[in-house]
Amino acid sequence: MMDIYFELNYGKLYEEIEGGTCEVFEHRSSLGTIRHMFIKRKVPIQLGDITYYDLVTPYGYGGPLILNCEEGRKEDLVHEFEVAFEKYCGNHNIVSEFVRFHPVIANASDFQSVYDISFIRNTVGTNIKDYSDPFKDEFSKSARKSIRRALRAGVDYRVIERPDELIHFKDIYYSTMNRNDANDYYYFNDAYFDLCLQLYRNNIILVEAVFEDKVIASGFYFVYDNIVHAHLSGTLTQYLHLSPAYILKYGTMVWAKRHGIELIHYGGGTSNGENDPLYQFKKKFGNNTEFRFCVGKRIWNWDVYTRLCLEKAVKEDTDFFPAYRHRD
């Protein structure tokens, strides 16, 4: 199974943000094929005359993916990949790697022998495929009540397929980031949004909540094959009492059902706890649908990793990975 997160163009959206280049390593043998996409970043510490690099998954999810495999030979194919990729990393001065595996595809389970894998949190989705009425079966009672109340108050929604511009969305999104005192990382610039339209206009829908002819909330979604991914969204502060975020979820669900979509994936919370407010909000739209989000760590060159940590004066066993980027 492929997804938008594994496409090279998707990775290119984040080259500037991550300060690196998106590259693909593909291992092919008689046993099958594994494709691995990542962003290669320069390590911000110089050791002699050699420039070192580390790898990170582009924003969202990814990791190595088995495209095909001879029956019963998965472990052998994964071992081949590990040997080949370790050699590749050695030849390209790659020190370490941090992978955010895809929770829906669950590719983390295939690479437990390659990476130090940790479960981070659950993510949430609305299962469209298996329920004739996702509104009743997947949306919580409180969510349904909020949606009905908002609709009665005059809040409506509209879905814009293949949008020509994102000006109004950006205004609402930035206002939400300001309200939430968000990290600078999430203030995607105009060049990022322009590139989204350039590369993926046909895969984008905007869902807007409208009240008295004014857009009061907007959601940016990627559509790929039979999955809708909630990407970014925002709401205007003065209209929060009308529950516009609930209307965005409702409108997306109705559109997805009409268009043969099987799943809407919302991601998880901003922290790892089950009481995380964002996770609890998303859970209102996925009563029965959760996925395991896992990350993987791998040090490909222990000698250089140790030297980088010494140079940065940090302990190798800190929770932050890679340790030498701590406090960057």
Average confidence (pLDDT) over 214-241: 97
Q: Are 79 and 161 found together in one domain?
A: no
Looking at the predicted structure, is the pLDDT value of residue 328 above 70?
no
Q: Residue 126 — pLDDT band, cuts 50, 70, 90?
A: very high
Evaluate whether residue 71 is within a structural domain: yes
DSSP three-state, residue 242: helix
- Write out pLDDT tens, residues 17-46: 999 999 999 999 999 999 999 999 999 999
User: Regarding predicted confidence, which is higher, 274 or 147?
Assistant: 147
Q: Are 136 and 106 found together in one domain?
A: no
Looking at the predicted structure, is the pLDDT value of residue 57 above 70?
yes
Q: Are 307 and 235 found together in one domain?
A: no
What value, to the nearest 5°, has the Cα angle with vertex 110 and ends 107 and 114? 110
- Helix, strand, coil % in the chain, rounded to nearest 5: 40, 30, 30
Q: Residue 271 — pLDDT band, cuts 50, 70, 90?
A: confident
The torsion defined by the Cα of 233, 237, 240 and 242, in degrees rounded to 10, comes to -100
Q: Are 244 and 157 found together in one domain?
A: yes
Closest among 65, 62, 53, 57 to 26, alpha carbons compared: 65
Q: Are 150 and 68 found together in one domain?
A: no
Closest among 245, 235, 293 to 267, alpha carbons compared: 293
**Backbone Cα Rg of the chain:** 21
Letter for the amino acid at 54?
D
Measure the CA–CA gap between 315 and 305, rounded to whole angstroms: 11
Evaluate whether residue 108 is within a structural domain: yes
Q: Give the range of the structural domain holding residue 179, as residue numbers without chain letter.
A: 129-261
Evaluate whether residue 266 is within a structural domain: no
- Write out pLDDT tens, residues 133-181: 999 999 999 999 999 999 999 999 999 999 999 999 999 999 999 998 8
Domain boundary among 245, 261, 277: 261
Predicted local confidence at residue 132, as pLDDT: 94
**Cβ contacts of 318 within 8 Å, gap of 6 or more:** 326
Give φ, ψ of 113 to 5 degrees: -80, -10
Looking at the predicted structure, is the pLDDT value of residue 233 above 80?
yes
Predicted local confidence at residue 119, as pLDDT: 96
- Tell me the pTM: 0.94
Closest among 211, 242, 213, 217 to 230, alpha carbons compared: 217
Average pLDDT taken over every residue of the chain: 96
Looking at the predicted structure, is the pLDDT value of residue 302 above 70?
yes
Looking at the predicted structure, is the pLDDT value of residue 1 above 80?
no
Number of domains comprising the chain: 2
**Percent of the chain surpassing pLDDT 90:** 92
Measure the CA–CA gap between 176 and 45, rounded to whole angstroms: 35
Domain boundary among 212, 245, 261: 261
Looking at the predicted structure, is the pLDDT value of residue 259 above 80?
yes
**Percent of the chain surpassing pLDDT 70:** 99
CATH of the domain at 63: 3.40.630
CATH of the domain at 144: 3.40.630.30
